[in-house]
Structure 1
Amino acid sequence: MATASATRRMSDLGVDCGNPADDSLEADEPTMVVEVLSPTNEGFEVTLKLAE
């Protein structure tokens, strides 16, 4: 499964130790990604979003 080009997914918190371009939508060297789960979004976060 791939994320559509018009879809933008962002984690709740992320650490990028790289040097991405200012207009980049991708992390250069992602080191840590944090997602906060709640009862209302847990199913989406651990299935579809994780697969993408």
Structure 2
Amino acid sequence: MTITAAHVPAIVALVAGIFILIMPRLLNYIVAIYLIFVGLVGLGVLKMFRF
């Protein structure tokens, strides 16, 4: 299975959800990082770095 740009937000959301269940205090940081990451993926910035 190859990971495409469409899979990245789903994987990030899954990992973030697991971390929130383990440590609820991390919610603010996880949400902020998730939003920044999804924004970068949406703008195509990560394609320049070949991620």
Tell me which interval the TM-score lies in, with the shorter structure as reference length.
0.3 to 0.5
Q: Provide the TM-score with structure 1 as the length reference.
A: 0.35
Q: Which has the higher helix share?
A: 2
Point out which structure has higher relative CO (alpha carbons under 8 A, 6+ apart): 1
Q: Provide the TM-score with structure 2 as the length reference.
A: 0.35
Q: Which has the higher strand share?
A: 1
